[in-house]
Chain A
Amino acid sequence: MSEYIVGLKDFAAALKAEDHALAAVGKGKAWLDLSKTPLAGVELIDRYRYRIRIKGRYPQFAYWLAMNFFAPVPIEADRFFAQPGMVEKNLTLDWYPVGTGPYMLTENNPNARMVLERNPNFRGEAYPGEGEEGDRAAGLLTDAGGRIPFIDKVVFSREREGIPYWNKFLQGYYDFSGISSDSFDQAVRISVEGEASVSPEMKAKGIKLESSVGTATRYFAFNWLDPIVGGGQADPAERVRARKLRQAISIAIDWEEFISIFANGRGIPGQGPIPPGIFGFKSGGEGINPVVYDWIDGAPRRKTLERAKGLLSEAGYPNVRDAKSGQPLVLYLDTTDRGPGDKPRLDWYRKQFAKLSIQLEVRGTDYNRFQEKVRKGAAQIFVWGWNADYPDPENFLFLFHAPQSRARFQGENAANYSNPEYDRLFEQVKHMENGPARQALIDRMLAILREDAPWSFGFHPKDYSLHHDWVSNLKPNNMARNGLKYQKIDAARREKLRAEWNRPVLWPIGLLVAALAAGVMPAVLSWRRRERTLGRSQ
């Protein structure tokens, strides 16, 4: 952040110096009054507004303002919680947050439940009157102009297991539910056209399905520093050879099958790193990865294995042996999957490489060791993913920016990919506003990535969620976390349906009592008989 905000570095240095000075006189834990230290890039306009000056152009800064670290915090709260003894008594600002939002956290016990209640001092906001296409028809603008939030109290309960959570949702005790793999078939039907809808059982209860493609991507990364699959070799011929190997593998890994088997169809195959919904993504024929797919009959079709084998042969592995050394081609995949439940997935990975007769050695490790290997650039191929921080293509494209190399600079470019042309384009793209010029540069960057194939672009997961029909004003948004204030609950209907669905069935209690009596009676009779018999015989 200090790279962008004018004066933030000096501000931090001044605070550090003040902190050290206080520590030197034994007041190391004293409260620092931030308002006393000047911050050159920030200017107070009035009581509720301030202006931030940043260095150069950085359009993504607007997204930063929506992130939690920019949430306004009253200085009084900061001072209150900095008093001596507060931390020792578990009284901290992160546990008892003070803010300006529509809700207050009135109960904070993450081990059991957290409760949000309407903030009586909320400045007030009106429900939006404009939306995207289709929002009006979907009834999302019916409450336009209404004061939000609509819900007085929101209770988040912690359920550690999926089964009770799912059953309580079906009973109407939860308003929302995700869909686990176990309950997917019970909840969702996929039509022959691939459209998802709720099952008849869910429909009968008025349960509704919302789906959206996540602003995330899952992939196989090829370590650019690796001599076999990487692209950093000095010899141009070696680089071409490795590139063809990566392309061949990218074709062979059937992500469509993976989505179908392991994600219940909840995903769309990646044509690049940018998921749908983010500027730069293109659908249809112009958006496909031409190295891996052909556009046939209005749909992308993965290239044939023959094409992949041809590339492998061109890469210098005829008959899957190194043409020079004659050694078989063995590749290594690092993953954190290593439990018994992961075996089918690991077998699937091996099967994909086996299609090209490549032997894949899977090296399952715990997450710490996995991260360490990636950090040191010691993993050859590895499985990973990325969730967007903000909805801008820069947040995906920077994952291939050489100065972000994980092994060299501890950045987010885990594959350590490096391409000077790509880097040059990235420097331009990151400062541009969305528009045709930016799109053209992104297209070129994607073309470079598809050709170089530093990742086998896996898939962008689809998020499915269910809610009862007493919930309204719900629109999935994978980036924003402020949707609660727009939502509405028909509490009377919820109460009515809950009571209807959960009428106690009392006959089992009667049956249990009868069964116990039936079980005990012979014993009692037998005991009495024995007692009397013994008495007589003695």
Chain B
Amino acid sequence: MIAYIIRRLLYAIPILVGVNLLTFALFFVVNTPDDMARMQLGIKRVTPEAIQKWKVERGYDKPLVYNTGAEGVGKITRTIFYEKSVKLFVLDFGRADDGRDIGHEIRTRMGPSLAIAVPVFLLGLFVTVTFALLLAFFRATYLDFWGVVACVALMSISSLFYIIGGQYLVSKVWHLVPISGYAGGLDAARFLILPVMISMVAGIGSSTRWYRTIFLEEIGKDYVRTARAKGLSELAVLFHHVLKNAMIPILTGVVVVIPLLFMGSLLVESFFGIPGLGSYTIDAINAQDFAVVRSMVFIGSVLYIIGLLLTDLSYTLVDPRVRLQ
């Protein structure tokens, strides 16, 4: 298995180089280093000297990918792409255009993002799996029918509606929790209840229907009939046998998103004023801050690769027949 993990990690290197190259190309097709300088220096009274100074201070005065003025390997290394990208592989993200350390910003913002994402993930998983098992238990009854109808209704509504509606009812009309905001420590709880509940409700419909389908497929299999024939209760059948055997498709969808929880949610964080990572990339794109954009895309790619690797590894835990070679 170790050889498998090492091989997968080595595969990640060309993928990350490719992602970096693509990010670099897309960013600099739209923005030039001069545009970036103008954005940071302001619109009024920006002299060519000020622009040049800004670029020199931040290393944007060099050619993008190929330096014809340099000698030997310097043609490649003395370029914006090389200088800005290579350090990423040792997780040195450098500084944003406003001078702040990107690594520090990410670490600071990660906490609030996780404070929402982890409860949403865990509670959501628990509720949706339980609800789906219930629907499977009551399959072909009116409870199943209305449960599926509720799921379809829940997934048909935009998450923005849940957010605005939730804020209006729970916070504005009933005054039960603050509309938005964030505080550190235990104080965060009263700010997080509403976004966590709303995010969970918004995700129930689609996940429940997906898990219900998986469970119904498993319920029709022979081993379930055997379990029932042994005299096991339906609950024991569902939780001990069906759930275990349905874990592979569930893990495929679930484990891959665990690392991405660090990236936060743009919409929820924006509406609830959570100072997380969700909007960091968007803010950077608007400010034409390439240093932040490439860092966030890089982290996103790394986390996704880790997520896929963890998914593969998790298969071996729930299904002894799976071997990673």
Contact = CB atoms under 8 A, between A and B. Distances in A.
A526 interface: yes
A389 B231 CA distance: 84
B48 A410 contact: yes
Contacts of A173: 178-179
Contacts of A531: 233-234
Given A168-B180, A368-B35, A523 B143 contact: yes
Contacts of B275: 109, 111-112, 158
B273 A158 contact: yes
Contacts of B100: 90, 95
A161 interface: yes
A157 B175 contact: no
Contacts of A412: 44-45
Nearest to B277: A111
B104 A371 contact: no
B99 interface: yes
Interface stretch (A127-135, A144-152, A210-218, A504-512): A504-512
Contacts of B271: 160-161, 163-164
A366 B30 contact: yes
Contacts of B179: 164, 167-168, 171, 173
Given A505-B176, A526-B138, A167 B143 contact: no
A33 interface: no
Contacts of A87: 99
A512 to B, nearest CB: 10
B32 A526 contact: no
Contacts of A76: none
A366 B288 CA distance: 12
A503 to B, nearest CB: 6
Nearest to B112: A112
A460 B138 CA distance: 66
Contacts of B174: 504-505, 508
Given A87-B99, A92-B99, A526-B138, A164 B104 contact: no
A371 B32 CA distance: 12
A427 interface: no
Contacts of B270: 160-161
A274 to B, nearest CB: 18
B234 A526 contact: no
Contacts of A159: 180, 273
B254 to A, nearest CB: 25
A502 interface: yes
A283 interface: no
A88 interface: yes
Contact of B101 (A88, A503, A526): A88
Nearest to A411: B45
B323 interface: no
B164 interface: yes
Contact of B172 (A89, A161, A167, A410): A167
A112 B182 contact: yes
A168 B35 CA distance: 37
A171 B174 CA distance: 12
Interface in B268-294: 269-273, 275, 279, 288
A527 interface: yes
Contacts of B35: 368, 371
B109 interface: yes
Interface string A398-432: 00000000000010100000000000000000000
Interface residues of B, number: 48
Contacts of B48: 410
Given A157-B181, A368-B35, A167 B171 contact: yes
A460 B243 CA distance: 66
Contacts of A534: 234
A136 interface: no
A170 B45 CA distance: 40
A389 B44 contact: yes
B272 A164 contact: yes
Interface in B146-203: 164, 167-176, 178-182
B134 interface: yes
A520 to B, nearest CB: 9
A170 B175 CA distance: 12
Interface in B212-249: 231, 233-235
Interface string B21-57: 0000000001110010010000111011000000000
A538 interface: yes
B164 A523 contact: no
A366 B30 CA distance: 9
A530 interface: yes
A389 to B, nearest CB: 7
A522 interface: yes
Contact of B99 (A89, A94, A161, A368): A94
A504 to B, nearest CB: 5
Contact of A504 (B101, B104, B141, B176): B176
B172 A523 contact: no
B211 interface: no
Contacts of B231: 538
B175 A371 contact: no
Contacts of A170: 172
Contact of B38 (A167, A371, A506, A538): A371
B45 A90 contact: no
A522 B275 CA distance: 43
B137 interface: yes
Contacts of B169: 508
B109 A157 contact: no
Contacts of B272: 164
Given A161-B270, A168-B180, A522 B143 contact: yes
Nearest to B172: A167
Contacts of A171: 172, 175, 179
A368 B31 contact: yes
Contacts of B137: 527
Contacts of B99: 87, 92, 94
Contacts of B104: 90
B273 A503 contact: no
B41 to A, nearest CB: 12
A490 B218 CA distance: 66
B53 to A, nearest CB: 11
Contacts of B181: 157
10 contacts: A159-B273, A161-B270, A161-B271, A164-B273, A368-B35, A412-B44, A504-B174, A506-B176, A523-B134, A531-B233
Listed from nearest, the 8 A-B pairs whose CB atoms lie closest are: A112-B275, A164-B180, A368-B35, A505-B174, A160-B270, A502-B175, A111-B275, A164-B179
Interface of B: 30-32, 35, 38, 43-45, 47-48, 99-101, 104, 109, 134, 137-138, 141, 143, 164, 167-176, 178-182, 231, 233-235, 269-273, 275, 279, 288
Interface of A: 87-90, 92, 94-95, 109, 111-112, 157-161, 163-164, 167-168, 170-171, 173, 366, 368, 371, 389, 410, 412, 502-506, 508-509, 522-523, 526-527, 530-531, 534, 538
Given A170-B172, A412-B45, A526-B143, 4 more contacts: A111-B109, A164-B273, A509-B176, A523-B143
